[in-house]
Amino acid sequence: MKSAAIGVLVFVLVFGNLLWFVERNANTFSKNYFPGIFESFWLVICSMSTDSFGDYVPHTWMGRVITIGIIVGGVAIFGLLVAQVTAFLAIKKIKGEINNSRDLVNKKVATAEETTSENILRRIGAKVIGVSKIEEAYLKLKNEEVDAIVFDAPVAIYYEKNDKDGKIEIIGEIFDKQKYGIALQQGSLLMEKINQAILHLKEFGQYDLFYRKWFGEDLVMES
């Protein structure tokens, strides 16, 4: 949609200036660049979007030839913009009301109590529905008791990937990135072994294989 809008803008600027230059002495527009150029822009836009020239009509043959090009090429570019806007609105309607974290404001969102997810939701203005176990949140969502669930990405992705009902869908991206850690006693001898094992998995590509096996490839998380 952005590219089509830029295309329309460039088209209007280029042909507007060209048409004003050709018609500037034919009493079609004001002879001065301002406001003459805006009158030319108006003719270009009217030619692109309707079957009339608005308040201005080209008087020279060169101006009329250029206007024919504006009508033919402009209708195509303008039609592309309209099509992309229509497609964008249709996709937004299909996706629903929640597509990112900003859409969670004043929505009923379930998450596990006393977690970082609960704190984040309260900060962004969601109506938090706390549950003791995250499985209860999934059930509430399926029963339409809440609008969404926010929780740790690996847990949510795993559940969505293995949900037999197919009623759960991951929407948007991770909006508050956090890191996981392995808790050990201070000075534990296992720390070095665990770090070496993780590095070994990453070095030989096994980490990525395990990730794709359990979480799929739809959402990439930093490691």
- The domain tally of the chain equals 3
Q: How much is the pLDDT for 62? A: 92
Evaluate whether 116 touches 177 at the Cβ level (below 8 Å): no
What's the pLDDT score for residue 220?
A: 47
Find the domain containing 135 and state its range.
98-178
Residues 29 and 58 in one domain: yes
Asked if 142 and 167 count as a contact pair (C-beta separation under 8 A), the reply is: yes
Cis before 58 (ω within 30) = no
DSSP 166-205: ------S--SS---------TT-THHHHHHHHHHHHHHTT
Same domain, 102 and 171: yes
For residues 156 and 194, membership in a common domain is answered with no
Q: What's the sign of the alpha-carbon dihedral 97, 99, 103, 106?
A: positive
Q: Give the pLDDT of residue 190.
A: 93
Residues 162 and 103 in one domain: yes
Number of other CB atoms surrounding residue 45 within 10 Å: 18
Same domain, 84 and 124: no
Q: Distance between terminal CA atoms of the chain?
A: 33
For residue 92, the model assigns a pLDDT of 56
Q: Do residue 7 and residue 50 come from a single domain? A: yes
Do 81 and 117 share a domain, yes or no?
no
Note whether 90 and 29 are same-domain residues.
Answer: yes
Query: Tens-digit pLDDT profile for the chain (223 aa)?
Result: 677 788 889 999 999 999 999 998 888 888 899 999 999 999 888 888 765 666 788 899 998 999 888 888 887 887 887 787 776 666 555 456 787 888 899 999 999 999 989 999 999 999 999 999 999 999 999 998 999 999 988 888 888 888 888 778 888 778 788 777 888 998 898 999 999 998 999 888 888 888 777 766 655 444 4
| pLDDT number for residue 3 | 76
Give the number of C-alpha atoms closer than 13 A to the C-alpha of residue 129, restricted to the C-beta side: 20
Cut 0.85: pTM above it: no
Residues 35, 89, single domain; the answer is yes
Residues 70 and 34 in one domain: yes
Q: Which of 67, 95, 123 finishes a domain?
A: 95
Q: What is the CATH number of the domain that holds 128?
A: 3.40.190.10
State whether 33 and 56 are in the same domain: yes
What's the pLDDT at 122? Answer: 93
Compute how many other C-beta atoms are within 10 angstroms of the C-beta atom of residue 191: 13
Q: Where are the beta strands (DSSP E) in the chain?
A: 108-112, 127-131, 148-149
